[in-house]
Amino acid sequence: MAGLECKPSANRTIPALSLHSFHQHASLAVPITFRRHSISLRASPKQYRFRHGIVPHSLVESKAAVAESRGEQLFQLQEGQSRSSHQLPSGLKIEVIEHPASSSVEEIRPPLVFLHGSYHAAWCWAVNWLPFFASQGYDCFALSFLGQGHSDIPASRIGGTLQTHARDVAHFIKSRALKAPVLVGHSFGGLIVQHYLAHVATESDEPSLDGSGGWEEPYPVLAGAILACSVPPTGNGPAVLRYLMSRPIASIKVTLSLAAKLFTSNESLCKETFFSADMSPSLVQMYQKLLAESSKVPLINLRELNASLPVSPPSKNAPPTLIIGAENDFILDMQGNEETAKAYGNNLLVLPATAHDIMLDIRWRDAAEAVHFWLKENCSHRKGQAKFQVFWSI
């Protein structure tokens, strides 16, 4: 089993799963466990073996285009995608990239709502993951937080706080989701999902507007949640200290890349921070331009963030949650992923040979396929699931 590692849960506090490239191991089958469901994945690009039989699987190529026209929008929506804005109670609008399900399936699948991290915006999901999951029968929505992408900029010149960002997401879900969605958060977006999970409603609760122009807790119910390379519940502070002690040079690089934003001008540093070493220079250059233009103002006020940490534990009504870590993540170490997994059910998936931006990295499909399998096992439509009013605000 060279290149693929499955660590038995009996020998670890956290049952960790490592999935190597399916396409490089055409005859390999290995048992894995997501929560309490045993699955056997056959490493074929055509089909995978589940506990209840063989499920055919069609691969769909992404056709997203990235333009290099000076002064023009770099990212171009692909066929089936549309961009709109969702108006919040404050009057500000957030960007929404939508990709409706492009295939019909027998089971009812939940909508997916994707949340980006720092220096990213909705486009980062629309390149690969939105078309992939739309082809599997999921209605997909990628949001840009305030001050990011094409969203409005608050007067404070700060995107918001954990609380305000989570309330904005809750308002979007309440207004536009036909049924309970799965929230997918990457990096700092994962921390915002964690705040949401601490205040998620029961199916009988009815969120209401508060006096500050957002939704009060509890937030609308979810069918599931995914925390991908997420900031842990205690924040990045402990990871920074570990880097200083064990990897001082890497610590300096991360600080220069993110705090000083040198990733916007240094191609090598951008690649090391977000992507795999074997990504082509041309692709790194295109993503670097998009990243440099994604964040108009800071996503969050770090001083206010530190005062609100650690994030409260998930509520008793929190849905099934998957934690994803990347083996070659330059920003977050494995101890950070394990901290998050301990807080959310010890359900950790580790992607080998993958960098921090798992949705853009060259092995994005491996991650997407694994997520798809977990969604089918854990987030299918349940009887009595709350339905939400539809209200489109453009």
pLDDT at 320 over 60: yes
Looking at residue 239, its pLDDT comes to 76
DSSP β-bridge partners for residue 184? 114, 226
Q: Is the dihedral of CA 313, 228, 56, 51 positive or negative?
A: negative
pLDDT at 92 over 70: yes
Mean predicted lDDT score pLDDT of the chain: 78
What is the band of 27 on the pLDDT scale with cuts at 50, 70, 90?
Answer: very low
Region 47-63: mean pLDDT is 30
Looking at residue 372, its pLDDT comes to 96
pLDDT at 275 over 50: yes
pLDDT at 67 over 50: no
Q: Are strands 93-99 and 82-87 parallel, antiparallel or unpaired?
A: antiparallel
CB crowding 191-201: b at 16 or more within 10 Å, else e: bbbbbbbbbbb
Looking at residue 288, its pLDDT comes to 96
CB crowding 23-49: b at 16 or more within 10 Å, else e: eebeebebebebeeeebebbbbeeebb
Which 3 state secondary structure label does DSSP give 47? strand
Burial of 11 from C-beta contacts in 10 A (0-12 / 13-18 / 19+): exposed
Looking at residue 237, its pLDDT comes to 80
Burial of 89 from C-beta contacts in 10 A (0-12 / 13-18 / 19+): middle
Region 69-75: mean pLDDT is 47
What's this model's pTM, rounded to 2 decimal places?
A: 0.79
Q: Which amino acid is at 235?
A: G
For the stretch 236-258, pLDDT in tens is: 887 778 877 777 887 788 777 77
pLDDT at 382 over 80: no
Q: Which amino acid is at 117?
A: G
| H helix runs in the chain, sequence order | 123-126, 129-135, 162-176, 188-197, 237-246, 248-254, 267-274, 281-294, 302-307, 334-343, 364-378
DSSP state for residue 202 in the 8-state scheme: P
Whole-number Å distance between alpha carbons of 391 and 244: 48
